[in-house]
Copies of this chain bind each other. A is one copy, B any other.
Amino acid sequence: MSSVRVASFSISLDGYAAGPDQDLDNPMGVGGMALHGWALATQTFRRTHFGAEDGTTGVDDHFAVRGFENLGAWILGRNMFGPIRGAWPDHEWKGWWGNNPPYHVPVFVLTHHARPPLVMEGGTTFHFVTTGIEDALRLARDAAGGKDVRIGGGADTIRQYLRAGLIDELHLAVAPVLLGSGESLFEGLNMPALGYECVEQVASELATHVVLRRAHRATS
């Protein structure tokens, strides 16, 4: 059964998914890269992002691997695709990931500004969706052909899908880091009322991995 998943999404102890002042130099916001120490060290990340064969193979890598299993499509908020805000000045920006992005499936980018699809090497095509989160999910499900759809982020995109009751499972990695301000994942969201509970918790030295699953339909 196909599901809609968030995976390998890192937050700080105080609940932030990115630090303050995100820009081209600090795409994760100030201090935000520290959230991802667990992921950057894994064999999976090293292989998919750098073509390297080193990296950790323990709990952290186990979750990184799970995040990529059975994926048929991704959905990204526009800020995860790039630092450009407002209308596209041109079509030069092609994402943070170079010519062969680590997706290898269709990726639906939420934006208010239309742009033609962008075909990359390795099977990744970026589709720009201006008709809202539900339409993006419908398109992603169709493209996924029965496989899972992964909501990549950022926090605001995930919060929109959570509020709409459209995410089946979230794997979060809580990093032993304090950020103090930035994009909060949970603030103002009542996760139990939305139907979520924590069904798994495993820690490495670099992060605590938790899996939240929607056990029932929202009651309020």
Contacts from A to B (Cβ < 8 Å): 13-15, 31, 172, 174, 176-181, 186-187, 189-194, 196-198, 200-203, 205, 208, 210, 212
Contact = CB atoms under 8 A, between A and B. Distances in A.
A189 B15 CA distance: 12
14 contacts: A13-B172, A13-B198, A13-B210, A14-B15, A174-B174, A178-B192, A178-B212, A179-B192, A180-B189, A180-B190, A180-B191, A201-B205, A201-B208, A208-B208
B201 A176 contact: yes
B208 A196 contact: no
A163 to B, nearest CB: 13
Identical chains bound together, number: 2
B15 A186 contact: yes
Tell me what chain A mostly uses at the interface: helix, strand, loop, or mixed: loop
Nearest to A180: B190
B208 A180 contact: no
A91 B210 CA distance: 45
Contacts of A189: 14, 180
Contact of A187 (B174, B176, B187): B187
Nearest to A179: B192
Given A186-B14, A187-B187, A178 B203 contact: no
Residue among A180, A189, A212 with max Cβ neighbours from chain B (10 Å)? A180
Given A31-B192, A187-B187, A201-B203, A176 B14 contact: no
Contacts of A181: 190
A18 to B, nearest CB: 14
Given A13-B210, A15-B14, A15-B15, A178 B201 contact: no
A178 B205 contact: no
